[in-house]
Structure 1
Amino acid sequence: MKYLIILLLLYALPVTGQQKIDTLSIYFENDISAVNPIQEKRIDSLLETSSKIKSIIVEGYANMFASETYNQKLSENRATNVKAIIGDSISVKSIGKGEVESPLPEERRVDIIITYKEKTIEAPQFVPPETSLEISLSEANIGDTVILEGILFIPGLDVIREESLPTLYKVKRYLLENPAVKFKVLGHVCCGINGEPSPIDGRNNRTGNLTLSRDRAKAVYRYLLKEGINASRMSYEGMAFKFPLGKGDIKDRRVEIEIISN
């Protein structure tokens, strides 16, 4: 299988400031408001980009079991406990939203709503043809794989970092201009035992599941879907650590596009 690497030699053009909002949900057992170690780890992973965060709103909820008064207090305690984990280094407001009119366990939760600081995002201007994304993808035949250099995620999560926007922009533009191309998004993680290939996937700290490579591939898939790429043209798959490149952990943590038809 041939690998084609996207070269991101870009000229920067300033674009107006944009504000990004993310939401992370933390789920609780019935009648529980304390934050457990797994939940705390997810919150800590999210805060690795704290320098970019403007403010956080923590909203606590309970499902409809027990009295309305009890559930209101339970939702407040859940929000307060999550706020305590986040700490005082960021502007945080906690709110108990009371009960949701549903018995589903998914309603026993806290939503962490993060607003990022406004910043100037640099839009990519395409470089000469010999290093452009269009040339790299146009050279790919059916069955070939294109490595998307520059796709970055928050450690342990399937949350795409803003630094990935130039690559995603170029992928989207190429696909919109080449509607016959069908493809699969492939997510990879590191690391196996003693660096050996492994079918065991990484842990997604947002969900607690061993599906990190699949979830990251899905995140890219969802971005492209939102940007106008038809779902019939694409799919996604997690490759775990089954195909290391032998060039170190950073290279093994990657997202690829496999060309299905063109």
Structure 2
Amino acid sequence: MKSLTYILAVIFTLNFAFAVDYSNNETLKRETTVVSHDVFFDTDVAEVSNEEFSKLVTFIKATETIDIERITIVGYCDDRGSTTYNKALSNKRAKTIRDIIANYRNGLDKPEVVTVNGKGEVALSTSESALFNELRSLNRRVTIIVAPKKFIAGSFYGEDLRKGDVINLKNLNFKKGLRYLTPESTESLKELADYLVRRTDIFFTINGHVCCTINGKDSRDRETGNVNLSVVRAKFVRDYLVKAGVDANRVKYQGLAGQYNLGEGDSKDRRVELEVRYISK
């Protein structure tokens, strides 16, 4: 009885998780986090039922205003059939969903779509055939994961930041000859701080840059007279982040002077970048 109660609880939880109605979900259109949807299939088929098709189209339309970076489509099967057969069937299911999405999103060259073959396994064993069949039905599905583009201070970054990634913080603009940001950069700096306070796994360096110097040298700070403008610009941003709640042990800073100009004009070179040193586990 105990195991039966546990299984019923699992089924209830799974059904609740999958019973998302997108028909009136206006917030999804403004979503900035990863969203997903499951399409369920009948036994041994790769065609979508009318009911599941309608739910899928509603989901696709709800994502129309999301600036998508990537769509991942993963196909699953239940435990019946050989491994080879189930791999082929799960792939057919995933391709079916890909074709439907492509039709409603006018092609999928952009964003990149990753189709992953998979085989769903029923994790629980029970003599109750009705419950067992219910668990199997939950594994006959394709999961669609939509990852939107993300921006930090005006610059795109991937959902999965990695060691060595460098993000040019385009909306952090400095006053000429000074370490201070322009007033319009305030909101972007706060956005950056909020993100880094949440992402406690990112250890990073703030790189400072300057424009308009000969042989890549540093510029003079008009306020102090010291020739270390790229350094104090990086430190200014670092100090703000720490004050906002980012652990100081995660943040380093350095000045790279005028060694790495972008060739896009002086104002573009008065910048800082976020360089990922590593991501903690």
TM-score normalised by structure 2 residue count? 0.44
Question: Which one has the bigger helix percentage?
Answer: 2
Question: Which one has the bigger strand percentage?
Answer: 1
TM-score normalised by structure 1 residue count? 0.47
Rg bigger for which structure? 2
